[in-house]
Amino acid sequence: MTVLDLGPGRSSTLAFLTEFPTRVIFSDLFDVDVTLAEPDATDAAREEHALAVFNDALGLTRDTQIDVCLMWDYLHYLDRPSLRALSTALRPHLHRNSRGYAFGVLHANTAMDEHDYAIHDIDHLVRQPKTISVAHKPHTQRVLSENFPAFTVIKGTLLREGRLEFYLET
Amino acid sequence: MFDKRKDNEISQASTPVEPLSNQPTTETFNTRSAAVIGQTITIKGSVTGDENLTIEGTVEGSIDLPNHDLTIGQSGQVTADLNANTIKVDGQVGGDINGAEKVVITKSGKVKGNIVAPRVTLEDGAKFKGSIDMDPGESAKPALKSTTSNSAPSATAPSSGNNSSGGKSSDNVKAAG
């Protein structure tokens, strides 16, 4: 099984995945700047730039096929062109049984606390405050569906404070 | 998604569990009679040998120590592919790491590269970016830096001033589903 974690390497996630015959890739995309410096750049230019950045930053070889993609809340740190770029970058590495996990929000004005996430065990996650604050604007499920077509939400679970937990498939 | 997952009722992931405590790692490394590349030494090229090695300096190239232990000390800055029996990283490594027995990245370690080893440990605070290939059928479980606590949940509210990247203020959040 190949697991792609878009966050930084976490000891607990690694310890959990050791139970399975796994190759885990920690891309740590939170540490990557996908924005284009030019303020007047078009959306197409932003998307093209972000795609080039993601293709390099994801660390995936041409033949890598992802079984599980742990996105945590990363999608909410991207603007719409970058969302589309990430979807495009991931798509060649997904197959029909690929699955994803991500957090969402019920409303666009739902506050999102800034945490790093990891797996603790089959029923629990580990949540730690981010050491660096990163600008973000939560996306609704509709925005994600329109701009991140690599995955489709198959199950959403309402958490407290208007947050959502998404299980996704390709 | 994972076979072992139970069918839980839908619930809110709102019950934090006692923060994981940092416990000393139980990993042991043979540092006796290890050759040392000192902090002021820079090597460009291939490093090979038939003994344990500790690197506190700078190495660019490759390091090949089959059947021996390699330690990248806190001052060590290595841009090289590493091959050894056991590899412990306290410093910085850019390159692929192949540990025949195990690889440990400690809380001060920073690695960008791919790791292949039957047993890999990331301590809380370690920085890692890349892939990790493990074969759990051939290894014991890795020594965990932090362990599960069965204590009553606490409403931990990390202070905004806490910049720790370790597990000092972590919560265990119950995942619904």
pLDDT digits (tens, 9 = 90+) for B122-136: 998 899 999 999 864
How much is the pTM? 0.78
Residues of A with CB under 8 A from a CB of B: 8-12, 14-15, 17-28, 31, 59, 68, 99, 101, 120-129, 131, 155, 157-160, 165, 167
Q: Which 3-state string (H, E, C) describes chain B?
A: CCCCCCCCCCCCCCCCECCCEECCCCCCCCCCCCEEECCCCEEEEEEECCCCEEECCEEEEEEEEEEEEEEECCCCEEEEEEEEEEEEECCEEECCEEEEEEEEECCCCEEECCEECCCEEECCCCEEEEEEECCHHHCCCCCCCEECCCCCCCCCCCCCCCCCCCCCCCEEEECCC
Instruction: Flag if A165 and B177 touch (Cβ within 8 Å).
Output: yes
Q: Which helix (H) or strand (E) holds A146?
A: helix A141-147
> Which range is least confidently modeled, A114-118, A134-138, B30-34?
B30-34
In angstroms, the CA A9 to CA B125 distance is: 9
Measured distance CA(B71)–CA(B93) in Å, rounded: 11
**C-alpha distances out from residue A152 to A25, A99, A159, A167, B10, Å:** 22, 9, 19, 8, 20
- Residue B161's pLDDT is 36
Give residue B172's pLDDT: 52
Q: Using CA atoms, how far apart are residues A54 and B162, in angstroms rounded to an integer?
A: 30
- Is the model's pLDDT at B29 over the cut of 80? no
Query: Does residue B11 have a pLDDT over 50?
Result: no
- Least CB–CB distance from A165: residue in B126, B141, B175: B175
Res. A95 pLDDT band, cuts 50 70 90: very high
Question: Is A59's CB within 8 Å of B158's CB?
Answer: no
Average pLDDT, integer, range B102-128: 94
Q: A61: which 2 tokens?
A: 């070889």
Q: Which two tokens stand for residue B16?
A: 């934090």
For residue A130 the two structure tokens come to 């981010």
- How confident is residue B146, by pLDDT bands cut at 50, 70 and 90? very low
CA count, 13 A, side-chain hemisphere, A141: 18
B144/A124 CB distance under 8 A: no
ipTM of the complex: 0.86
Is the confidence at residue B22, as pLDDT, over 50? no
Relative orientation angle of helices A43-57 and A80-90, to the nearest 10 degrees: 40
Q: What is the mean pLDDT of chain A?
A: 90
As a whole number, mean pLDDT of residues A106-127 equals 84
* Top-ranked range on mean pLDDT: pick from A48-62, A125-139, B140-154, B161-175: A48-62
**Of A46 and B14, the one with more pLDDT:** A46
